[in-house]
Amino acid sequence: MRGLGRTAVAVACSALALAVAPPVAGAGVPAFCVPKKPARDFGFSQLPPVRSAPYDGDLPFAPPNVNVYGGSLLGEVAPQRTSSGFGFSEENERGTVHLGWTVTMQMWRLGGRGVPLREVDSETLFIGELDAADQPHISVDTLGGRGFYRADVQFTDEDGTQLGAYSSYVKVVRPFWKARLRLDRHAYRPGQKVLSRLENLGTRTMTYGEEFEVQRLADGRWVAAPDLTPNGWLLWLGVSGPGAYGLCNSVRLPQDVAPGRYRIVKPVEESVPHRRDRLRRLVAPFLVAAAT
């Protein structure tokens, strides 16, 4: 099966890096570049744990040639009304697949500690047979106000036996921009590597590339430090949703680097619905100590 994609407007709390594989701690990737917790939690850690649908869409009861897509990841943040759902298709064009599934979804408005207050939307879909020309889908909507919601989905067969049940959370919040560029330390010595990572602390989506610039403070003014700025072309494009991290940049300080105050300047873009993206520049200062 192909992985779960998106049918909702909400942005999942995970960074998507295009044209590169997601980094994994170890195998030469520093732990600083693969944090275990989100950049901002938005309160999801205070909610009761739920069983979310498999990220890769591999539902254990589905035939191997059935493609399940859509659905939501655990912990979505949406700056506006949003929906969550699933779509289904026969992916190998090998003919009709008999399923006999009844798929039922509910969207719940939640109160304190994740307790359901009321059902705000529901939908039921029956999938008898499936072929490549037929792509049924099901979704439920938050239908309005800010706060926490939970989307539930149940799959049953023709005898009414439950095949699987999954849930996911979504939080509708005020749209706002907040992001920072963070370094793995505040001071370095010649020969050390400087690691920087982006952190999206707001609800707007952040896009970025590999480009960054290193500057040094000279006579009270910030000037370019071309010996420390890579001369590379755009190798990858990153997209970070609310609470997510961006991919790391790194620069190795030469042994003869002058001591003093430096900073990294990183251009990013704030995605604004129905408008041109806004260019932002994030800055992270650091010190270089004298060689010993």
118 shares its domain with 210: no
Are residue 136 and residue 209 in the same domain, yes or no?
no
User: What gap in Å lies between CA 144 and CA 230, rounded to an integer?
Assistant: 46
Q: What is the pLDDT of residues 42-85, one digit of tens each?
A: 999 999 999 988 877 789 999 988 888 876 545 688 878 888 89
* Shared domain check, 147 and 60: yes
Q: Which amino acid belongs to residue 75?
A: G
- Contact in structure between 172 and 239 (CB atoms under 8 Å): no
Q: 139 and 189: one domain? A: no
Task: Determine, yes or no, domain membership for 10.
Answer: no
- 211 neighbors 281 (Cβ within 8 angstroms): no
* Residue 274: per-residue pLDDT: 80
- Buried b or exposed e, range 65-93, using 16+ CB within 10 angstroms: bbbbbbbbbbbbbbbeebbbbbbbbbbee
Q: Which of 172, 207, 225 is the last residue of a domain?
A: 172
Provide the number of structural domains found in the chain. 2
Average the pLDDT over 203-210 and give the result: 92
Domain that holds residue 254: 179-288
Residue that is last in its domain, among 156, 172, 188: 172
Same domain, 108 and 229: no
Question: Is the pLDDT score of 15 beyond 60?
Answer: no
Q: Can you say whether residue 120 is alpha, beta or left, with left for phi > 0 and alpha for psi between -120 and 50 degrees?
A: alpha
Q: How far apart are CA 105 and CA 8, in angstroms?
A: 14
pLDDT above 90 for 243: yes
Residue 6 placed within a domain: no
Residue 11 has pLDDT above 70, yes or no: no
CATH code of the domain in which 143 resides: 2.60.40.2550
Tens digits of per-residue pLDDT, 252-275?
A: 999 999 999 999 999 999 998 888
In a domain, 216, yes or no: yes
Tell me the average pLDDT across 121-144: 91
Answer yes or no: do 191 and 140 share one domain.
no
Which residues fall within 8 angstroms of residue 165, CB to CB, at 6 or more apart? 51, 152, 153, 154, 155
Of 208, 196, 216, nearest to 287 by C-alpha is 216
Say which residues have a Cβ less than 8 Å from residue 158's Cβ, sequence separation at least 6: 100
Q: Is 198's pLDDT higher than 90?
A: yes
Average of pLDDT values for 21-28? 48
CATH number at residue 207: 2.60.40.10
- 163 and 270 belong to one structural domain: no
